[in-house]
Structure 1
């Protein structure tokens, strides 16, 4: 029997990998229902290793390049790529982004229109990362929960984990040294007049933002990274930046309905890379930062292999 504290993204992914390898797994989760306490519910769900290389280490590509295939085993994945754009005044940001990334095609306004007809005449230049993908985070969490339960994993909701478990996946609650909170803020907009099929990243010198299409005319917009331990609702400044970015992508967003706003604390180590950490005889999987859906599969595989190798000794 392998025990896990936390039924968030890391805990569920690890349980999935363990159960696939034949292990008997029990997860202890304080929340009363799936996903209730998971910061992943505020994520964009972007599986974009090449874009993320702009501000992250090479390991993000190495660990994240197979994430879309992993997630496709349990939940729908949209493989339409990522389109990175910038208004004319910020074309220098586009050049800088291109220097720091790879696996993209440079596109002009005509190609942008072919990719996204709704953006006709909006942008003169862009970068198209055709190998990237995205998913709906809340649907993915629900589908992953169902998948692990079908593999025989027991999830005990409303239950504190015992003082000693095999794997701790409790994010900021784990209290690991060097772990810090990075606040991410988001808004969900309803704008059926705009039709987009892929993630749009809008570059800006102060705060690059992304717009992720969801079903039924919904769009998630986010991108803030605030060093803060407060999970209060998004600030007026952040919301203003996000709404301005949406309007810059398409003016029809001025009439969009704001369906939801939210903020979550993402655990990060100083290098912003996830780690497997042994502490007091317990293995911790933590520090997924802003790359949760991208890096959780590879990190869960490593955790499963380490745990099973230790139980076989």
Structure 2
């Protein structure tokens, strides 16, 4: 951290804001956090998510630097969750990818892409091709339903809503001053002056459009269902040309099913067509979803920059901004957390360079560490 205790105002109490608040408060700093919504995170993209930690699987849609962030974050999640008073569901049983015979060509292309990624990021575990017998052994619930698949070992997932609640409780325990239902802007503060916080950390996501002019929303839709007849042991992805989906099993036969990625910041409820395609695809993976009970169908928009990559920047003195986590929030958040903590400690971040993450600083590195 900084060389002596100081004060922080964190704007945005989504995933990044809460992780930073807890880390800084534990280090002895005074922390105030502001959010447009309440402790449940109802305005945050972090609330509507699968919570999957799948760097190799996500390499199909992102850069190698993000893959390295995801690999780094898997180990850090175990450490971070171990410090929380409230338990958070976490598993690291890998990711299963399956497809129907008519989509075998798409699956073959995906397999080649994942193999190429591992050549560039060799610390990733090797993908395991599965024939029908091995697939039945790995995931008995899908025995006889698919002729082949792929297992990506070591990938994980967590329960995003349990985590948000556990972080909110931890902030309360550590004495973080929470300003729920109170919007804030960096312009509201004069950091480093008398009576003001020493630093402002802006983690507002789409709420920061006034300062990130190229920021856009990418809509996602997920269904949470209770399916007592389904016993999937790990996140499962279906290769499909029109609606590839993921199914993330949580505790007590609750499943989060997601698929859609739409270039819009529309936050209206899911359409009938989207809901039908989402649930029909889940049923195509396992017929037990036919009798599942729909707990919720939710939509949210992920904050996304033009290159679909995360960004950290210091454009004005003592105001550090983190944004652009796109669809990879849970997968990369611990990596970005440690980058920010390095910057606040020393004014530099070797981790950022290892992730090919450019930190945009208009100020000197001495200002960061001051």
On whether the aligned pair clears a TM of 0.5, the verdict is yes
Structure-1 residue corresponding to 2:9? 3
Is the 8 Å Cα contact of residues 7 and 34 (structure 1) preserved in structure 2? Answer: no
Superposition map of 1:244-263 within 5 A: 244-263=280-299
Distance in 1 separating the partners of 2:48 and 2:257:
10
Q: Please, which of 12, 18, 42 is the counterpart of residue 36 of structure 1?
A: 42
Contact 1:118 1:196 in 2 (8 A): yes
For residues 145-156 of structure 1, what are the structure 2 equivalents within 5 Å? 145-156=168-179
Check if 1:171 corresponds to 2:205. yes
Range 43-52 or range 154-163, more displaced: 154-163
The equivalent of 2:234 in structure 1 is 198
Give me the whole-angstrom Cα distance separating, in 2, the residues matched to 1:238 and 1:180. Answer: 21
Matched, 1:85 2:98: yes
1:277 aligns with 2:290: no
**Bigger CA drift: 11-20 or 227-236?**
11-20
Conserved? CA contact 2:309–2:325, under 8 Å: yes
Q: Answer with 14-23 or 242-251: which moved more.
A: 14-23
Runs of 4+ residues over 6 Å off in structure 1: none
Paired residue for 1:291?
Answer: 328
Q: Greater Rg, structure 1 or structure 2? A: 2
1:68–1:77 CA contact under 8 A, matched in 2? no
Please give the alpha-carbon distance, in whole angstroms, between the structure 2 residues aligned to 1:19 and 1:70.
18
Aligned residues: 313
Unaligned runs of 5+ in 1: none
Partner SS for 1:62:
helix
Determine the C-alpha separation between the residues in 2 that align with 1:7 and 1:59. Answer: 25
Question: 2:243–2:278: 8 Å Cα contact kept in structure 1?
Answer: no
Cα offsets for 1:193-249 (capped at 9, x unmatched) = 111110000010122110011122211100211001110111222212211211110
Q: Identify which of 109, 119, 123 aligns with 2:132.
A: 109
Contact preservation (8 Å) 2:16, 2:203 = yes
Displacement of 1:37? 1.9
Shift of the 34–254 alpha-carbon distance from structure 1 to 2, 3 Å rule, reads: closer
TM-score if structure 2 supplies the norm length? Answer: 0.80
Pair 1:64-2:98 in alignment: no
SS of equivalent residue, structure 2 residue 230: coil
- Report the aligned-residue RMSD: 1.7
Question: Among residues 269, 274, 278, which one is paired with 1:238 in the alignment?
Answer: 274
8 Å Cα contact 1:4/1:168 also seen in 2: yes
Q: Which runs of 5+ in 2 are unaligned?
A: 1-6, 82-87, 119-125, 190-198, 347-366
TM-score by length of 1: 0.94
**Structure 1 residue 105: Cα displacement:** 0.5
Q: Residues 253, 34 of structure 1: CA spacing in aligned structure 2 closer, same or farther, 3 A cutoff?
A: closer
